[in-house]
């Protein structure tokens, strides 16, 4: 197997499994561990994989986006902390937008006993609030994206445009100082951007692995957000650089 074929196979395995290990790949592909390390370095340089201790995980690109099952297993403790801190930033809001993604779903769990109206594109967030007796849920219509269990396209955007929302909690596939907030799908970017436009306050919730990354479609500038909530895993110096562009950055 030549290096290009082997590296393509490694990427497919990473996307299927959510993570690949050096030693396991070496055994499966019958090559030396050092060969696999060189492959992973090359794939990381092409922004297809991200190196982690002992292996690599897939990067989200215009051609690949991780699904809900994978997101629910990665950085889970950090996402739980982020969700708890984000829920504490309501500051009297009566109407809330919850974005697609696993962290907004965790925020939804923490809002179930509040008296609120929640607007969401996420079937997962709506499900988390389905049995609440105090939360009114407005689920945006549109085409459902099976990978994220969320609605998009003009139906969702048109419904959002008719609303005025107190606070929006949004996620992102990537955030960088140079390119702002980006995601892999233009339809998702349109919903996110509209949610920011119709909300009085916008709060970003993002694990540290999203920082310094760039994806396909820009949907917001860093200055569009009142606050960014991430984990203590985010480098303190990096947090200050993002904070210099406007939002308060909370590392929890």
Q: Could you tell me the CATH number of the domain that includes residue 17?
A: 1.10.10.10
Determine the Cα–Cα distance for residues 185 and 174; give it in Å rounded to an integer.
12
Within a domain: 64: no
Structural domain total, the chain: 2
Determine the Cα–Cα distance for residues 98 and 86; give it in Å rounded to an integer.
11
Looking at 59, 82, 99, the residue that finishes a domain is 59
Residues of the chain where predicted confidence (pLDDT) is lower than 50: none
Determine the Cα–Cα distance for residues 37 and 234; give it in Å rounded to an integer.
25
- Looking at the structure, do residues 26 and 92 belong to the same domain, yes or no? no
- Looking at the structure, do residues 77 and 197 belong to the same domain, yes or no? yes
Give pLDDT, residue 133. Answer: 97
Q: What is the pTM of this model?
A: 0.83
Residue 11's domain comprises: 3-59
Distance of CA 237 to the CA centre of its chain: 22
- Looking at the structure, do residues 39 and 127 belong to the same domain, yes or no? no
Give pLDDT, residue 1. Answer: 85
The closest of 235, 179, 173 to 204, measured between CA atoms, is: 173
Looking at 20, 35, 59, the residue that finishes a domain is 59
Kind plus residue range of the DSSP H or E element containing 151: strand 150-152
Give pLDDT, residue 71. Answer: 63
Phi first, then psi, for residue 233 (nearest 5°) are: -65, -20
Looking at 59, 86, 107, the residue that finishes a domain is 59
Determine the Cα–Cα distance for residues 75 and 80; give it in Å rounded to an integer.
9
CATH number at residue 184: 3.40.50.1360
Give pLDDT, residue 84. Answer: 98
- Looking at the structure, do residues 32 and 105 belong to the same domain, yes or no? no
Determine the Cα–Cα distance for residues 194 and 156; give it in Å rounded to an integer.
9
Within a domain: 105: yes
- Looking at the structure, do residues 200 and 238 belong to the same domain, yes or no? yes
The closest of 79, 75, 130 to 106, measured between CA atoms, is: 79
Q: Are strands 150-152 and 55-58 parallel, antiparallel or unpaired?
A: unpaired
Give pLDDT, residue 227. Answer: 98
Q: Tell me: the pLDDT tens digits for 116-165?
A: 999 999 999 999 999 999 999 999 999 999 889 999 999 999 999 999 99
- Looking at the structure, do residues 110 and 230 belong to the same domain, yes or no? yes
- Looking at the structure, do residues 88 and 139 belong to the same domain, yes or no? yes
């Amino acid at each position: 197997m030549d290096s290009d074929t082997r590296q393509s196979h490694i990427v497919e395995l990473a996307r299927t499994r959510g993570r690949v290990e050096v030693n396991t790949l070496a055994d499966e592909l019958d090559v030396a561990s050092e060969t696999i390390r060189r492959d992973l370095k090359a794939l990381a340089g092409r922004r297809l994989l991200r190196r982690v201790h002992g292996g690599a995980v897939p990067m989200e690109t215009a051609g690949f986006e991780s699904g809900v099952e994978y997101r629910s297993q990665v950085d889970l403790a950090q996402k739980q902390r982020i969700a708890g801190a984000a829920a504490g930033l309501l500051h009297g809001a009566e109407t809330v937008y919850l974005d697609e993604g696993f962290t907004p779903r965790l925020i939804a769990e923490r809002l179930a006993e509040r008296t609120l109206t929640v607007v969401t594109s996420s079937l997962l967030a709506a499900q988390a609030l389905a049995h609440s007796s105090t939360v009114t849920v407005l689920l945006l219509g549109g085409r459902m994206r099976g990978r994220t269990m969320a609605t998009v396209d003009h139906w969702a955007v048109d419904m959002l445009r008719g609303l005025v929302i107190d606070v929006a909690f949004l996620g992102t596939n990537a955030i960088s100082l140079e390119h702002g907030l980006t995601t892999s799908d233009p339809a998702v970017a349109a919903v996110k951007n509209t949610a920011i436009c119709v909300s009085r306050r916008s709060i970003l919730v993002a694990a540290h692995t999203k920082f310094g990354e760039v994806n396909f479609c820009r949907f917001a500038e860093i200055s569009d957000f009142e606050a960014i909530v991430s984990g203590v895993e985010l480098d303190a110096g990096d947090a200050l650089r993002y904070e210099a562009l406007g939002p308060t950055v909370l590392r929890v």
